[in-house]
Amino acid sequence: MPDLLLPTREGGLARHVLGPASPYPTRATGPFPRIAYAAAHVVADPLATRDPWERTAIDWERTLAFRHHLWDLGFRIAEAMDTAQRGMGLAWADAKELISRTVTEARTRPGADLACGAGTDHLAPADARSLADVVAAYEEQVGFVEGVGGRAILMASRALVRVARGPEDYAAVYDRILAQSARPVVLHWLGAMFDPQLAGYWGAPDFETALPTVADLIRRHADKVEGIKISLLDAQKEVRLRALLPDDVVMYTGDDFNYAELIAGDGARHSHALLGIFDAIAPAASAALTALGEGDRARFDAILEPTVPLSRAIFEAPTPWYKAGVVFLAWLNGHQDHFSMLGGMQSARSIAHYAEVFRLADAAGLLVDPDRSAARMRTLLALNGLG
């Protein structure tokens, strides 16, 4: 097997001998016992003659091909979410095209499913003057998603954080949008570790104060809420909200640290999933979910257990830069021919970080072609003076 000399977190170098190729199939081999959304990344076009910091350039062919890869593995797509660099390189104008293209693409294959991010990111927080501004921004985006035949995921709003004075203002905005939605939506509670501009969301300084606001909102609109994704990287907080949900409302874990235990459940309740890490570990996650559906909890645990250290490394602080690790693995596995991201975000992590992700991906059995992955890692090492 190939071997490389990789940098370590301590500043040294250590030899790494790659393990065998990934054993996981590229297509789902059975039904899942949980609803599983994979939040998918966008493939940049590095050859476009544009300033990459100023204007998005997307490789549409590779971007849509990656969605087919996820559908092949049995996942639903969570489109135009933060994994796609929403609000961090992917502007609303391009998100609209992405949503429209993916909804159209889904119609070409039976069983393909998706939901699409609808937020207020075309309204700069500094330009928001009132709750009415926020409502109008949500109306525009939800209206677009539903207008092209999609289902909406109500993304958290930076503009709402700026103008809201308390929990009642959040309730007023969400009441208005949920009352108008044509189809049930997925709510999205994204923690400040993912986006510092969302600190104090739901008009509360902490989880304990925010929890009643969220639970009451869902109870009032249970017919309009498919589920809620919670991304606070705290399993106990998710379990507490999960216990308060009406029977027909689904908990979607967005916890990229504790997803395995939350999906498996405690015997009484479990979480479904809407995860960015599924983009990176899709073949393993598909095999694990299939095993769980067959009643083989031991195999489910055995497959997902080594992916958890990988996910924790990819999502380590500063957590918003996790997108770089996701795209890095897509490049290593041949889903794209380059490691370039919208806005040049590949520069957000260090070579020591990428080396650690490489080691952990290999340990989790996620490198499809070890020789190709090693060759690409050597290229990245050389670019960082380690050739």
Rg (CA), the chain: 20
In the numeric block, which tokens belong to residue 61? 């062919």
> pLDDT tens-digit profile of 316-330?
999 999 999 999 999
Any domain includes 351 = no
Q: Can you tell me the mean pLDDT for 282-308?
A: 98
Which among 137, 86, 88 is positioned nearest to 116, based on CA atoms? Answer: 86
Domain tally, the chain: 1
Q: CA 288 to CA 24: how far, in whole Å?
A: 10
Q: Quickly state the pLDDT bin for 53 (edges 50, 70, 90).
A: low
pLDDT of residue 56: 74
Burial class of 11 by CB neighbour count within 10 A (0 to 12, 13 to 18, 19+): exposed
pLDDT of residue 310: 98
Q: Can you tell me the mean pLDDT for 216-225?
A: 97
Q: Quickly state the pLDDT bin for 32 (edges 50, 70, 90).
A: very high
Range of the domain at 267: 32-316
User: Residue 76 sits in a domain of what CATH number?
Assistant: 3.20.20.70
Q: Can you tell me the mean pLDDT for 168-187?
A: 98
- 295 within 8 A of 37, measured Cβ to Cβ: no
Strands 13-17 and 36-39: unpaired
Q: Quickly state the pLDDT bin for 55 (edges 50, 70, 90).
A: low
Of all residues in the chain, the percent with pLDDT exceeding 90 is 95
Any domain includes 6 = no
Q: CA 68 to CA 170: how far, in whole Å?
A: 36
Task: Indicate the average pLDDT of the chain.
Answer: 96
Give the HSE-up count for residue 260: Cα atoms under 13 Å, Cβ half-sphere.
Answer: 23
Any domain includes 218 = yes
Any domain includes 252 = yes
> Is the predicted pLDDT of residue 164 greater than 90, yes or no?
yes
Q: Can you tell me the mean pLDDT for 13-38?
A: 97
Any domain includes 350 = no
Q: Say how many Å lie between the first and final Cα of the chain, rounded.
A: 19
Any domain includes 70 = yes
**Is the pTM higher than 0.85?**
yes
Which helix or strand (DSSP H or E) is residue 336 part of? Answer: none
Any domain includes 296 = yes
In the numeric block, which tokens belong to residue 319? 């957590």
Any domain includes 293 = yes
> pLDDT tens-digit profile of 85-135?
999 999 999 999 999 999 999 999 999 999 999 999 999 999 999 999 999
> Is the predicted pLDDT of residue 51 greater than 80, yes or no?
no
Q: Can you tell me the mean pLDDT for 199-215?
A: 97
In the numeric block, which tokens belong to residue 345? 């975000």
Plot region of 74 (φ>0 → left; ψ -120 to 50 → alpha; else → beta): left
